[in-house]
């Protein structure tokens, strides 16, 4: 358990307006709590939660991440985690606009964003010289329409989904020398609307997207001269 307090006193941001004047920043608080189990046991749970409050309570970010690791054997260790983020940002940069008389208006908006993700990991030791690592991370992020009178128009919502995975096989064919075989896969999908209302529906559409696959072979050889 802990927390952070920042931007105390008079602090200013000279980058928030993207080339415009500096704006004053309000202070923020970010308490967090983490509960973990005993990592020596067969089942190792962990829960982390944090809440960030800024802009005198008008901007809030809540993050919750539970995970579970299983020690199936001395060779196999899978883990599964989930993350949930709710971001209500009252000072999201929207754009700089020049009016008919040449005056630049630096505008901000209220952003309502929800992001949900899953993370799967698997570590497998086939032998003292051969290991396999698998990582997979699908997530979906939804942005509700900007809803603030300080912006000039409503750009509408959009829904972004992505899947990233990697598989790494490492073989130490001689002491100090290793061969790596890597396969990575990436999928992305962007909709200019809020998308399905369920995470499972978002994932279903995500896996219909065309994948980008990359294969890599690397050799690290130790020359004993």
Residue 94 predicted with pLDDT over 50: yes
pLDDT at 60 over 50: yes
- Mean pLDDT, residues 169-190 taken together: 94
Read off the DSSP letter of residue 154.
-
Mean of pLDDT values over 44-54: 95
Provide the pLDDT for residue 157. Answer: 58
Mean pLDDT, residues 109-136? 93
Boundaries of domain holding 140: 2-220
**What is the pLDDT averaged over residues 87-94?**
85
The string of pLDDT tens digits covering residues 129-179 is 999 999 999 988 887 655 544 433 445 556 788 999 999 999 999 999 999
Confirm if 141 and 160 have CB atoms less than 8 A apart.
yes
Query: What is d(CA 86, CA 91) in angstroms, rounded to the nearest whole number?
Result: 15
What pLDDT shows up at residue 34?
96
Structural domain contains residue 173: yes
CATH of the domain at 183: 2.40.170.20
**Structural domain includes residue 140:** yes
Interval 196-205 mean pLDDT: 66
225, part of any domain? no
93 is a domain residue: yes
Question: What does the pLDDT read at residue 152?
Answer: 37
In this structure, is residue 142 part of a structural domain? yes
Percent of the chain with pLDDT strictly greater than 70: 88
Residue by residue, DSSP assigns 155-223 as: ---EEEEEEEEEEEEEEEEETTEEEEEEEEEEEEEEESS---SSHHHHHHHHTTSPPEEEEEEEEE---
Average pLDDT over residues 109-131: 92
Predicted pLDDT at 144 = 65
Q: Which residue has the higher pLDDT, 181 or 152?
A: 181
Q: Classify residue 117: in a domain, yes or no.
A: yes
Looking at the structure of the chain, the number of domains it has is 1
Query: Is 162 a member of any domain?
Result: yes
């Amino acid at each position: 358990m802990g927390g952070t307090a920042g931007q105390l006193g008079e602090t200013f941001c000279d980058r928030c307006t993207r080339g415009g004047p500096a704006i004053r920043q309000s202070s923020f608080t970010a308490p967090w709590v983490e509960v973990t189990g005993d990592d020596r046991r067969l089942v190792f749970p962990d829960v982390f939660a944090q809440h960030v409050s800024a802009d005198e309570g008008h901007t809030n970010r809540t993050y919750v991440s539970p995970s579970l690791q299983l020690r199936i054997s001395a060779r196999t260790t899978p883990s599964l985690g989930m993350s949930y983020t709710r971001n209500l940002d009252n000072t999201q940069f929207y754009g700089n606009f020049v009016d008919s008389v040449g005056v630049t208006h630096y505008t901000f908006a209220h952003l309502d964003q929800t992001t949900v993700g899953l993370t799967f990991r698997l570590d497998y030791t086939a032998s003292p010289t051969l290991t396999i690592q698998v990582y997979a991370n699908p997530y979906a992020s939804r942005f509700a329409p900007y809803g603030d009178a300080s912006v000039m128009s409503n750009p509408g919502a959009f829904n972004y989904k992505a899947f990233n995975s990697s598989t790494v096989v490492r073989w130490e064919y001689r002491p100090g020398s290793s061969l790596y075989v890597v396969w990575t896969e990436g999928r992305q999908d962007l909709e200019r609307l809020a998308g399905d209302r369920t995470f499972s529906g978002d994932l279903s559409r995500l896996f219909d997207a065309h994948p980008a696959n990359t294969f890599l072979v690397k050799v690290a050889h130790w020359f004993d001269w």
